[in-house]
Amino acid sequence: MRMSKLFGKTSKTEGSDYKIPSHRLLTQAGYIRESTAGRYYLLPLGLKVHDNIMRVVRKHMDAADAQEVVMPTLHPLELWRETNRTTSVSFELMKVTDRRGAEFALGGTAEEMAVDLVRKFNVSYKDLPFTIYQFSNKFRDEMRARGGLLRVREFMMKDAYSFGTEEQFEAVYKQMWKAYEDIFAELGLKVDVVAADNGYIGGEYCHEFVAESENGESRYFIDPQSGYAAHEDVAIFKVDDKNLDEPAQPMQEVAAERGKTMEDGVKHHNLPLWQQIKDVLYFDEATGRYILAVIRGDLNVNETKLMQASGAWELRPATDDEIRNDLQSEPGFISPVGITKKGVQTGRELVIVGDKSLRSARNMYGGTNKKHQDLLNINIDRDYALDIEADIALAEPGFISPDGGALVEKRGIEVGNIFQLGYHYSNLMKDAEFTDEEGKRQKYYMGCYGIGIGRTLAAIVEAHHDQKGILWPTSIAPFSVVICQLGTDDEVVNAAYDMYKKLTDLGVAVLYDDRTDARPGEKFADADLLGIPYRVIVSAKTVASGSFEVKRRDSDEAEMLDLEGVIKMTVTNIR
RNA sequence: CGGGGAUUGGCGCAGUUGGCUAGCGCGCGCGGUUUGGGACCGCGAGGUCGAAGGUUCGAGUCCUUUAUCCCCGACCA
């Protein structure tokens, strides 16, 4: 490619709206350009990198026995109704209607489409297991786009769907896990594999592949000793026992003229925070129930775990009005002891969900559901009962992992994930079945596996850049070599063109900076900004000496090589 | 959707308490001198100041409505 003809210019000035390095560098170097918030043009350079990432992903998916297909972008809304996801997905579905009034969803993920495709073929156990995948633009009407390519409303995703029996699933899941490790390794992206929450996709467990970055949106915890890694939503930890050797004391009601915070309770009674009972009252819009989360005072409630444990879907904090008038309690003095289980005004049910940490302490203290009255020596089972007992505690840095090490908090970009879907979709969708050995119909057991291509591209830039620009890993660089032609003398131009031609004929992706109106400094700055792995300089000086200056983007040292040397170096270092 | 900030040639910005043909830098075009880390001189093109309405003799500047964008929160590849 001749740089003089390249569409998409580099820019010396940077926009003030570009807050994170990948967004700024990709825009400044002419890889991408924003259309509207969360929708981007991929320019020729950006498309090359994008294609290269897809090529790597495709290679490893194929190697893992997945088969590529293409699904329509417009999904019949009927299919989404079949799984009730017209209302339950967290990202807003974008819908379109055709001239006949048929409704479609713009695909944001394609579980239903995959199942619908497979069920058309009436598969048998002999066909299982198998995995299909596609690359397609996904549409998600996100509340807020953010950070350039990091969170957008329209993006290329590789999504794969596996079909098989429950017995076969573990091997398939591991195969995909391995494929993902190979993909990100080849892309030059270090990732942590963390256990995460399935959310709206359904199923029981999943793992996220997260590239550590301060600009990422995923918070997760790792135990560096054991390798335990989990998203903050699902991270578990060991709760220490406090005073279980203490005998249970008789419960006692006392006057407590205090404020409503936990600290007020600690101060008033001069007792430790951990001994206080923390009560957090929610209302679930989805099921119309109050959820009272009860936990040891020094811990916080993890709403994701709480939703999992209680079956709630749309939690919001209960209002003071609801607490006082419907539940006859008092903000700051809520207590599982004697709280009404049914709203007196609305008749709404109240479910008490208690954290297992409540069993790590005795003789706890807390409110009475009456203002300025507290209870001392509250003991679980004896004084109150839980409807649901579960782990609903939020992990914090320094807590002890299940393996015994201290948890470290990290932040990163979620570039891919693998989900166990189980029977979730085959239960919801008709005829999602295969014929087994005995001729009986059985549900498929499924998994799904996604990688965001644009986000991965941005994550690679986040991980590989310096003051001057991008440093592409050779596996995905838009060009392997940039030839900087300095000067316009015939010998220089001829030598540069000759090298460009020879390398190109050998299959090396070469960017030939043939611009006659750019001075050397500008060419160097652009080469650095663009992040091409190798830079070769052809100038009057080098032509006279019969050798060329070759420098790696990630090194400060150049070496002088003749044409044969340049060819050898670049050809052996390309993919 | 809640909170904060912004919108003036392709990009980055200035524009005072309302006042004259709306400026600067970069970039772009033409001519020339240059050529190893973003050169210089000359000439030139390009803006109904996000949009609509209002106040005023007069609006980029004041008021109302509205659109878009950025940042922080709840979601995700």
Q: Are A158 and A54 in contact (CB under 8 A)?
A: yes
Model confidence at A199, pLDDT cuts 50, 70, 90, reads: low
Per the structure, the residue whose CA is closest to nucleotide B34 at C1' is: A519
**A97-112 mean pLDDT:** 92
Residue-wise pLDDT tens digits, A3-61:
999 998 898 887 777 888 999 999 999 999 988 889 999 999 999 999 999 999 999 99
Instruction: Give DSSP secondary structure letters for A133-185.
Output: EEEEEEE-B-S--BTTTTB-SEEEEEEEEEEE-HHHHHHHHHHHHHHHHHHHH
pLDDT of residue A572: 78
Residue A76: is the preceding peptide bond cis (ω within 30°)? Answer: no
Angle between helices A21-28 and A453-463 (to 10 degrees): 100
CA-to-C1' distance for A286 and B48, Å?
52
Tokens 């003398």 belong to residue: A489
Residues in CB range of A463: below 8 A, 6 or more apart: A188, A189, A190, A211, A213
CA-to-C1' distance for A215 and B72, Å?
14
CA-to-C1' distance for A369 and B20, Å?
74
Per the structure, the residue whose CA is closest to nucleotide B5 at C1' is: A17
Query: Residue A511: is its pLDDT beyond 70?
Result: yes
The two most distant CA atoms of chain A are separated, in Å, by 100
Report the Cα A146 to chain-centroid distance in Å: 14
CA-to-C1' distance for A85 and B19, Å?
61
Q: What is the CA radius of gyration of chain A?
A: 30
Residue-wise pLDDT tens digits, A513-532:
999 999 999 999 999 999 99
A217: which 2 tokens?
């949106």
Percent of chain A with pLDDT over 70: 97
C-alpha to C-alpha distance for A55 and A66, rounded to whole angstroms = 14
Q: What is the mean pLDDT of chain A?
A: 92
Across all strands, nucleotide nearest A456 (CA–C1'): B77
Across all strands, nucleotide nearest A201 (CA–C1'): B76
Q: Measured in Å, how far apart are chain A's first and last C-alpha atoms?
A: 18
CA-to-C1' distance for A254 and B71, Å?
48
Across all strands, nucleotide nearest A156 (CA–C1'): B77
Instruction: Give DSSP secondary structure letters for A456-503.
Output: HHHHHHHHSB-SS-B---TTT-S-SEEEEE-S--HHHHHHHHHHHHHH
CA-to-C1' distance for A569 and B28, Å?
38
Per the structure, the residue whose CA is closest to nucleotide B11 at C1' is: A13
CA-to-C1' distance for A28 and B12, Å?
12
Across all strands, nucleotide nearest A522 (CA–C1'): B38
C-alpha to C-alpha distance for A188 and A368, rounded to whole angstroms = 58
CA-to-C1' distance for A228 and B69, Å?
41
Instruction: Give DSSP secondary structure letters for A267-300.
Output: HHHT--GGGBEEEEEEEETTTTEEEEEEEETTS-
A195: which 2 tokens?
């256990």
Per the structure, the residue whose CA is closest to nucleotide B70 at C1' is: A17
Residue-wise pLDDT tens digits, A543-574:
998 899 999 999 999 999 999 999 998 887 76
pLDDT of residue A84: 80
C-alpha to C-alpha distance for A547 and A374, rounded to whole angstroms = 86
Residue A567's H or E segment, with its range, is helix A563-573
Model confidence at A150, pLDDT cuts 50, 70, 90, reads: very high
Query: Residue A111: is its pLDDT beyond 80?
Result: yes
C-alpha to C-alpha distance for A395 and A274, rounded to whole angstroms = 15
pLDDT of residue A161: 97
C-alpha to C-alpha distance for A158 and A56, rounded to whole angstroms = 11
- In A12-129, DSSP assigns E strands to 32-36, 39-42, 66-68, 74-76, 94-97, 103-106
Query: Residue A487: is its pLDDT beyond 80?
Result: yes
Residues in CB range of A264: below 8 A, 6 or more apart: A258, A332
Tokens 């699904």 belong to residue: A71
Across all strands, nucleotide nearest A14 (CA–C1'): B12
Residue-wise pLDDT tens digits, A435-469:
999 999 999 999 999 999 999 999 999 999 999 99
Identity of the residue numbered A523: K
CA-to-C1' distance for A10 and B9, Å?
19
Report the alpha-carbon angle A259-A260-A263, nearest 5. 80
Query: Residue A575: is its pLDDT beyond 60?
Result: no
Across all strands, nucleotide nearest A487 (CA–C1'): B35
CA-to-C1' distance for A489 and B67, Å?
54
The neighbour count for residue A573, using CB atoms within 10 Å, is 14
Q: List protein-proximal bases of chain B (any atom < 7 A from a CB).
A: 1-2, 11-13, 25-27, 29, 34-39, 68-77
**A309-337 mean pLDDT:** 89
Residue A437, classed as helix, strand or coil, is coil
Report the Cα A43 to chain-centroid distance in Å: 25
**A333-355 mean pLDDT:** 93
CA-to-C1' distance for A424 and B17, Å?
68
**A316-320 mean pLDDT:** 85
Query: Residue A401: is its pLDDT beyond 90?
Result: yes
C-alpha to C-alpha distance for A171 and A176, rounded to whole angstroms = 9
Residue A540, classed as helix, strand or coil, is helix
**A82-103 mean pLDDT:** 79
pLDDT of residue A58: 98
Phi, psi of A18 (to 5 degrees): -90, 100
pTM above 0.90, yes or no: yes
Which DSSP state fits A100? T
Across all strands, nucleotide nearest A458 (CA–C1'): B77
Give the pairing of strands A445-452 and A154-164.
antiparallel
Across all strands, nucleotide nearest A452 (CA–C1'): B77
For the four alpha carbons of A134, A136, A141 and A142, in that order, the dihedral sign comes to: positive
